[in-house]
């Protein structure tokens, strides 16, 4: 289904779930409207959050256009990528005085990496196509989660000790996502 919000056409789906409150999510460039069972009028929710929806989809469209100016590195082998990741994990965790339990490379649908409470770091294999500087940033980002779990003020303060311009890196990762999301 589609709706038009100002000058942007938005694809959307409606899901009824066992939830207390209705909510909006954006996944794969589609607006998902999650509604409690028995609640039918989703237009109220769309109207209430029209500005937010418009801002999010404007950003998506801008990032997609920006991604056309980026190039992926298809020359890096899986072995080479694995070596780069392990080297960065070792160096960054040692410098920060933190211990990583295990490092796993795997294909992830919606994120560049993750860090479990057990100290296990998972890195998205699609990261191998990005510049080394972004790979290093993602690993730093995940290692920081060993110290601070949530993306709160304390966490971003820790990230900014090494990357004071971390917002630029986050933006670059968002741009590159549009280039790699459908790979392998």
Q: What CATH number is given for 78-180 in this structure? A: 3.30.2010.10
Q: What percent of the chain has pLDDT over 70?
A: 99
Instruction: List phi, psi (to 5°) of 120.
Output: -90, 130
Q: Is the pLDDT of residue 183 over 90?
A: no
Whole-number Cα distances in Å, 152 to 2, 39, 125: 35, 33, 26
Note the pLDDT tens digit of each residue in 123-161: 999 999 999 999 999 999 999 999 999 999 999 999 999
pTM assigned to the model: 0.89
CATH 3.30.2010.10 segments of the chain: 78-180
93-121 per-position pLDDT tens digit: 999 999 999 999 999 988 999 999 999 99
pLDDT at 40: 86
Q: In which residue are the tokens 């009824």 written?
A: 16
CB 128 within 8 A of CB 76: yes
């Amino acid at each position: 289904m589609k709706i038009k919000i100002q000058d942007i056409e938005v694809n959307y789906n409606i899901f009824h779930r066992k939830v207390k409150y209705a909510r909006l999510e954006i996944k794969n460039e589609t607006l998902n409207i999650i509604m409690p069972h028995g609640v039918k009028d989703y237009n109220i929710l769309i109207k209430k959050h029209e500005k937010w929806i418009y801002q999010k989809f404007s950003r998506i469209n801008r990032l997609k256009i920006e991604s056309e100016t980026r190039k992926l590195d298809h020359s890096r082998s899986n072995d080479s990528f694995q070596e780069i990741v392990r080297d960065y994990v070792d160096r960054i965790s040692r410098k920060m005085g933190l211990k990583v339990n295990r490092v796993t490379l795997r294909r992830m649908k919606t994120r560049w990496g993750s860090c479990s409470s057990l100290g296990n770091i998972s890195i998205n294999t699609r990261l191998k196509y990005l510049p080394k500087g972004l790979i290093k940033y993602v690993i730093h980002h995940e290692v920081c989660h060993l110290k601070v779990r949530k993306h709160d003020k304390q966490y971003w303060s820790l990230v900014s000790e090494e990357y004071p311009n971390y917002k630029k890196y986050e933006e670059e990762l968002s741009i590159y996502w549009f280039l790699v999301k459908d790979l392998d």
